[in-house]
Amino acid sequence: MYTRIFNIILQALFIICVPLLLITTNVRIVLNSATIYDYGFSKYKIEKYTGIELEQLQIAGQQIRDYFNNDLDRITINISLHGDNVPNLFNEREILHMYDVKQLVKMVYVGQLCSAILLLMGCVCMIFNPSTNGWILALKYLGRGGVFTFSLVIAISILAIIGFDRLFLFFHLVSFSNDLWVLDPRHDYLIAMFPQGFFFDCTVAIACLTLLGGGIFSLLPRVIRLAWKK
């Protein structure tokens, strides 16, 4: 009886933590990828639209990534614009919104760490529990977590393709308790540098990486069993 309850709890833990780990890890990768930023700057012709040279956009992108990983509350985007030094490209509204974004980023980092620790603890508990099948059961639950991840991302991807505008709006309404995210690209550099299309591309990148991870996790038990037999 207790073993069955224990296994149900562990299975639920794996099904929740595998997608959480994969999604948060891939969000973190995309958030901190200079390649993604440069791709967005090029694709959406941000240099032409804002008048900021590509090299300065790249500097701004690096400063944003640094901000996500430092202990500062206020972001400072110090670049050169039209030959003049700009102490901070962002206005007060943008600075306050970036602080809110940073709190979300911190939650992503915490979610990644917690899910990794819980998965590790779950694996250890099963492997060293004499009443279970040990690592075989751990692989089985990891596989189920991978299948759930794959299904979840497919469902979210369909919603994003059908109506990314609504999904993007819903995300902001749920994630922020204020309207600081409502910016004007004619006056606010933050939204001018990162238009909605940029976030759609980031979502696609995160979805693809997570699908790959989910696929690997789902196939892992079968591959290891085949390798073990050989």
Nearest alpha carbon to residue 193 among 83, 14, 5, 40: 40
Q: Which residues contact 145 (CB under 8 A, 6 or more apart)?
A: 14, 15, 16, 17, 18, 19, 217
Nearest alpha carbon to residue 46 among 189, 200, 165: 189
**Phi, psi dihedrals of residue 140, rounded to the nearest 5°:** -60, -45
Separation between Cα atoms, residue 29 and residue 106, nearest integer Å: 14
**Phi, psi dihedrals of residue 180, rounded to the nearest 5°:** -65, -20
- How far the first Cα of the chain sits from its last, in Å, is 35
Compute how many other C-beta atoms are within 10 angstroms of the C-beta atom of residue 86. Answer: 16
The tokens describing 192, both together, are 């001018």
pTM score above 0.95: no
Separation between Cα atoms, residue 6 and residue 37, nearest integer Å: 45
Please report, in tens digits, the pLDDT of each residue of the chain (230 residues total): 556 777 788 888 889 999 999 999 999 999 999 999 999 999 999 999 999 999 999 999 999 999 999 999 999 999 999 889 999 999 999 999 999 999 999 999 999 999 999 999 888 877 776 655 677 778 888 889 999 999 999 999 998 888 999 999 999 999 999 999 999 999 999 999 999 999 999 999 999 999 999 999 888 878 777 766 65
Scanning the structure block, which residue is given the tokens 């990891």? Answer: 142
The radius of gyration computed from the CA coordinates of the chain, to the nearest angstrom, equals: 21
Q: Is 81 left (phi over 0), alpha (psi -120 to 50) or beta?
A: beta
Separation between Cα atoms, residue 197 and residue 111, nearest integer Å: 26
Do residues 28 and 110 touch, judged by C-beta distance below 8 A?
Answer: no
Name the helix (H) or strand (E) containing 125. Answer: helix 92-127
Separation between Cα atoms, residue 221 and residue 18, nearest integer Å: 14
